[in-house]
Structures are given as structure tokens and as C-alpha cells.
Amino acid sequence: MSEHTYTLEHARQLDQEDPLARYRDEFYIKQDQIYFDGNSLGLLSKRAEQTLLSMLHSWRDLGIDGWTEGEHPWFYLSEKLGEQLAPLVGGKPNEVIMTGSTTTNLHQLVASFFQPKGKKNKILADQLSFPTDIYALQSQLKLRGLDPETHLVKVASPDGHMLNEDDIIEAMSEEIAVIILPSILYRSGQILDMKRLTEEAHKREILIGFDLCHSIGSIPHQLSEWDVDFAFWCNYKHLNGGPGSVGGLYVNQRHFGKTPGLAGWFSSRKDRQFDMDHQLTAADDVGAFQMGTPHVLSVAPLIGSLEMFQEAGIENIREKSLKLSGYMLQLIDHELKDYDFKIRNPRNDDNRGGHIFLEHPEAARICKALKANNIIPDFRSPNGIRLAPVALYNTFAEVWEVVQTLKAIMKEEQYKQFENKRGVVA
């Protein structure tokens, strides 16, 4: 690698060659700040702002008629956005719905698909899952009178950061009824081979679903082609849907007709919903897995946000994302080798998600020092720093500046001004 690779001039040249560079102007970016926390909460785009305002105005102008009139009738909005998002997960339009949240959707899917029978009465997860998934699985087991200590099997990590797919497959015993795994591990950014794991689960007559929170909008998926049974996700990270944005779920069409475990009014077939019958006539597609009234104002920003993903193309977004994170790894290796940082995410392009995960004993203090330098990182207890250069609005020059700032923080010991303790929201 030539020394020119590590210069700001080289970073700026990469930005000039970037075919997605124009999308940066679509976002509200605070002046003199570098935002590298898009894997926790994506930035607001001008299109998302406009579609939210447009939806607000439809309420103002149409009142209750907004359910069936206007540019985006509310009654059909969850289905319409599901169709719009379907290419990002590789699902058919009627297999994807915009509804609920990560946790409520997981509860719905487990309530629907976990049917313990005889000795096939356990759920397989992993040691590194985001806590909300584990809490939901424990709750579902308890509701069935099963002990999470014995009926929730968690695959161990060999190093505390990544999972070995062979270990996951080995744990697919005849006692496992359902498997819930992350598509991308939230800490290390490791991508699991969803296709392989689905094939192995189905060989053993086990249903399998994936938490796509850290992969949706950052990598391509082919859920239908891989024959994944179901998936769920949030839309406020890489998809930039806003804080508390409505989530999404996918159900493979071969499961259509299944009675939802947690039924509600919006589980109904659209043409029967207002019959007000106490006997549910469930939708004959993924819509059956909705529950309550859609959160219209919370889903509205996604209308504008998803337009950009359709235009840019998820393959192009993934290509730039890999270039950004790959460039950052090169700079970290070159500039930070003397400062005890450990790279804990995969280096291989096929296995690396959309963020970099660094470990350091002083991680909390370093994150505070980064913020003092107008760089927004993400701290993960006890000693992790997540840095997410997002394809649609971050630049190679910003990657260069973040690494140089990290070097200065360590060299000048700026981090010692701060307590090595996380805030309430890390």
C-alpha cells in the first residue's frame, strides 16, 4: 500500500469518484459534525421530512377520509410500504408488511410459529443476540409454561464477538422447534450465512427466522430465494425512518393461511375488516400478522426514505459501504497500531456488515472525547466503539478525519479528561 493511500487527498479523490455522492445533499447534516452512528439511528432526509409533513397535512385536510383518500391512503399504507421495501429483503410484495416494532413483531412471529410438540419444544438462539430478542423469547417460553433455563438454547461464541456457523448447526438438535438468529451481529458486525443456516434448519424440520435490524438497508437479502420462514426488523437505523419508526416483518408465502398467534383488528382481510364480526377472517397474506391500527405518522418518513433506496439500489449501497469500511480498516491499521485498539469485526467483505467495531479499555472515555471533537460514535458496554460510515451520507474524507482524530485523542491523551463510564443512553 502506498503512503498516498493514507492521505486526505486520496480520500477526497475517492469522494470525487463516488457515484452515490449526490445523496449526501439529501440529508440534514449538522455543520462541522461527523455522524458515524447511523447503525443506531439514521439521519433525517429532506424527502422523509416532506412525506411526514405531507401525511400530517392529509390528516389536516381530509380528517377521517384520509383512511381511504389522498396520495397515501392510511388504510392500505402498511401493505403499500411493504411492497416498496420487499426488494431490500428479497421478498415477494405480499410477503412483507410495515408494522409494529422489532420486539412486538418477534413476539407475534414466535407466538405464531413456535408450536412445541413432544420433545420438539425448544428455541435456539445465540449468546450474542441483542437483549430484546432474548427477553421476548424468554417471555414466550414462560407463557407456555416452559423454563427458559432449559428450553432456550443459546449457542456460545468462541471469542465473545463472533459466532461459528458450524456450532449453530451442531446445536440444531431434534429438540429444537424454532431458531431465531441475527442476520448481522449488533456488536461485531458479523454477517451470518442465512442461506446455509436455513438449508440446515429445514433438513432437520426446524423453522428459522432472522432479526434483520442491522442488515436492512445495508446489505442485500434474498429471503424468499433462501426459503427463510420469517424475519423482523426496525427501520430507524440504515433505513433512516426516524426514532421509534414503525418496524417490518416478512413471512414466507408457504405459511400464508396460518392463524396469527396474536390476532388483532388489522389481521383482518381488508374487505371484511369493517364487518365487525367477532370471528376473525384473517388476511390471506402477510397482512394477517399485523395486530393494531398502523402508526401512520411514525411510518410516513419511510415513504420518502425508501424512494432513495429504490433509486440508489441496494447493491450499489452495499458496494460503497464495503469501500468505506474497508478504507477505514486500512487507516486504522496504519494510524492506530500503537494505541491498543482491537478490531473485532470481520475483515472479509462477505462477512462484514455496515459498521466497524473497535475494542479499547478506555472505550467510554474515548467515545466522549470523540463527541467533544464533534464526531458522533456509538459506545457498547463494556469496552466497545462502533463506527458506522453510512453509504448514503458519509464520505471517505470523513473516514480519514475520524481516524486522524482518534489518533490525536490517543496521542494527546484527551480521553483522560472524561470518566470511563457510559451515559444513560450509550
- Binding site residue list: 102-103, 130-133, 211, 214, 236, 265, 293
Q: What angle do CA 392, 224, 86 make, to 5 degrees?
A: 40
Contacts (Cβ under 8 Å, ≥6 apart) of 345:
161, 188, 189, 190, 352, 353, 355, 356, 357
Q: How far is CA 79 from CA 67, 242, 264, 287, 415, in A?
A: 13, 19, 16, 7, 48
Q: How far apart are the first and last CA of the chain?
A: 36
Beta bridge partners, 155, equal 126
Contacts (Cβ under 8 Å, ≥6 apart) of 183:
191, 192, 194, 210, 211, 212, 214, 215, 219, 221, 231
SS3 content of the chain, % helix, strand, coil (to 5): 45, 15, 40
Buried-state track 361-395, b at ≥16 Cβ within 10 A, e below 16: ebbbbbbbbbeebebbbbbbeebbbbbbbbbbbbb
153's enclosing H/E stretch is strand 152-155
Distance (Å, whole) CA 282 – CA 270 = 9
Distance (Å, whole) CA 91 – CA 127 = 28
- Of the candidates 363, 357, 344, 366, the one whose C-alpha atom is nearest the C-alpha of residue 415 is 366
Amino acid letter at 54? Answer: S
Contact assessment for residue 110 and residue 237, using Cβ atoms and an 8 Å cutoff: no
Contacts (Cβ under 8 Å, ≥6 apart) of 397:
8, 11, 12, 15
Tell me the residue ranges of DSSP E strands in 7-77: 34-35
Gyration radius (Cα) of the chain, Å: 22
Distance (Å, whole) CA 251 – CA 245 = 20
Beta bridge partners, 248, equal 98, 233
Binding residues for pyridoxal 5'-phosphate: 102-103, 130-133, 211, 214, 236, 265, 293
